[in-house]
Amino acid sequence: MGLVTAACFARKGHEVIGIDTDNHRLEQIQRGETPFFEPDLVSYLEETLRDGRLRVTPDPSANSQSDLAYITVGTPSNREGSIDLAHVKNAARAIAQSLRHKDLSQLVVVKSTVIPGTARNLVRPMLESESGKIVGEQIHLCSNPEFLREGNAIRDTEFPDRIILGSDDAQAIAKLETFYNEFYGRRFHSLIRTTHENAELIKYANNAFLATKISFINCIANIAELIPHTDISVVAKAIGMDERIGRSFLNAGLGWGGSCLPKDVEALIALSKTMGYSPDLIEATLRTNQNQWRKAIKLAKQALGSLSGKRVAVLGLAFKPNTDDMREAVSIPIVKGLLTEGASVVAYDPAAMKSAELIFKNLISYAKNLSECVEGAECAIIVTEWDEFKGTPLKMLIERMKQPTIIDCRRLYDLDEVSQVPIRFLAIGVGPNSRKACESSPPQ
Ligand code: UGA
């Protein structure tokens, strides 16, 4: 979030200083390389580094020159699921220390995802104690949660669907609103001015709702699988047409992963419990998700019987397409589950191979491309819905696989299409006898 925000601001003409404690990461950025895969980010970085609008440094005192300071550090989970605010605390301390000898006022913006109360009870006192200045006078503090998605981060930054500004300092809100009106070149109508705590809770509610929507459709998909002549993709399309529901985030699959939804859902549950409330719905959302990956193994066993000694191709490892991020990716338990069943696993992902090698080491084989991955396989499990997989002709899979069997866990293929070709096809959310596709057998 920090790097994308910095690059987008710099590209619009602002002078941006990126501060980080990780020297290796800073060197990478300096060379115009991104520490992770994000579409278009490299070109943004190259352009803004070249013209000097973006520079990076490990020296936090560089902040004293700026009008605005954004806190965009990570907020990982503690072991029991609660939020770890150490990086936020350190960033607030570093900002405050850089302001000790500064006369002009500065606007400090918390963009990191933090539990309600963090700006007021942690950031604000830290800013005041370490700078010797008063928040609301020389320092202005605003909570401004971020809703960008990995893989779509630049577009989400440049075209946000709303802006949330939280503070009890009217000047802080006015300053940030002015900055965004200039940045976006228009007056933002979908803008909420509110308290720090509302702004902080909005972010958690947003991610918890998205997670609940996915767990809901996965739950219905699991029910559909027990009912003849059903197909979750038709059900999702139809209920999505109800304007009150909406179609997005109703793609049944293997559950939600990544660096945000799992961490934020757990942090919200942990926070609620510290206040004596058990958020049953959100806990059920999490529980539903924790088991969903097992569908991939179940369907593979349904197709092949025992997996022992079978060559299984895993298509997609990243937690979602257009990223190389494997944090909380469902591919991790799936690959481990396949290995436990005795399968020989070969995997391919268009972007996440390096991340995968760090996790699976030499326990699996790594293919250079899709066709190498499925070569000689008895079953191919679609784990991540990369466009590259969507466009793959079934004929190619049939020709290369030993036993043409597809386990479509992201519903890339149309049931009618697969019913036309000699392939064994199983998918998430398809009831018995739904289409010929589910019954068709591979060639002998
Ligand atoms: C999520 C939110 O969507 C962003 O709004 C938020 O800013 C971000 O977290 C964050 O807190 O920083 P992200 O983690 O990039 O963004 O990923 P999503 O696009 O939300 O996908 C999360 C997971 O849900 C993925 O594993 C994806 O495969 C899964 N998913 C998504 C489904 O299984 N079905 C769907 O219909 C949609």
Tell me the pLDDT of the chain (444 aa) as tens digits.
999 999 999 999 999 999 999 999 999 999 999 999 999 999 999 999 999 999 999 999 999 989 999 999 999 999 888 999 999 999 999 999 999 988 889 999 999 999 999 999 999 999 999 999 999 999 999 999 999 999 999 999 999 999 999 999 999 999 999 999 999 988 778 999 999 999 999 999 999 999 999 999 999 999 999 999 999 999 999 999 999 999 999 999 999 999 999 999 999 999 999 999 999 999 999 999 999 999 999 999 999 999 999 999 999 999 999 999 999 999 999 999 999 999 999 999 999 999 999 999 999 999 999 999 999 999 999 999 999 999 888 899 999 999 899 999 999 999 988 988 999 999 999 998 876 434 444 444
- Strands (E) across 225-343 are located at 311-315
Residues annotated as catalytic (active site), given as ranges? 260
Instruction: For residue 247, give every residue at least 6 positions away whose Cβ sits within 8 Å of its Cβ, in sequence order, or none.
Output: 236, 237, 240, 241
Ligand 1 pocket, residue 210 CB under 6 Å: yes
For residue 237, give both structure tokens. 């399309």
Q: How many CB atoms lie within 10 A of CB 242?
A: 9
Ligand 1 pocket, residue 204 CB under 6 Å: no
Q: Is the distance from CB of 145 to CB of 203 less than 8 angstroms?
A: yes
Q: Is the distance from CB of 158 to CB of 149 less than 8 angstroms?
A: no
Q: Is the distance from CB of 346 to CB of 311 less than 8 angstroms?
A: yes
User: Using N-to-C axis directions, what is the helix angle for 331-340 and 294-304, rounded to 10°?
Assistant: 40
Ligand 1 pocket, residue 98 CB under 6 Å: no
Report the pLDDT value the prediction gives residue 443, as an integer from 0 to 100. 43
The atom number, within ligand 1, closest to the CA of 323 reads 15
For residue 141, give both structure tokens. 């503090």
Distance CA 385, CA 162 (A): 27
Question: What length does the chain have?
Answer: 444
Report the pLDDT value the prediction gives residue 276, as an integer from 0 to 100. 98
The residue contributing the CA closest to ligand 1 atom 34 is 251
The atom number, within ligand 1, closest to the CA of 150 reads 15
Distance CA 340, CA 330 (A): 16
Best substitution site from 38, 144, 233, 320 to test ligand 1's pocket, by max atoms within 8 Å of Cβ?
320
Q: How many CB atoms lie within 10 A of CB 271?
A: 19
Place of tokens 């302001």: 99
The residue contributing the CA closest to ligand 1 atom 11 is 260
Query: Nearest 5°: phi and psi at 297?
Result: -70, -40
Task: State in Å: Cα 239 to ligand 1 middle.
Answer: 20
The atom number, within ligand 1, closest to the CA of 254 reads 33
The residue contributing the CA closest to ligand 1 atom 24 is 256
Distance CA 191, CA 212 (A): 25
Distance CA 195, CA 167 (A): 5
Q: Is the distance from CB of 377 to CB of 345 less than 8 angstroms?
A: no
Instruction: For residue 171, give every residue at least 6 positions away whose Cβ sits within 8 Å of its Cβ, in sequence order, or none.
Output: 136, 140
Report the pLDDT value the prediction gives residue 423, as an integer from 0 to 100. 93
Best substitution site from 261, 264, 327 to test ligand 1's pocket, by max atoms within 8 Å of Cβ?
261
What's the first-to-final CA gap in the chain, in angstroms?
51
**307: Cα within 13 Å, side-chain hemisphere:** 28
Per DSSP, the three-state class of 92 is helix
Q: Is the distance from CB of 289 to CB of 355 less than 8 angstroms?
A: no
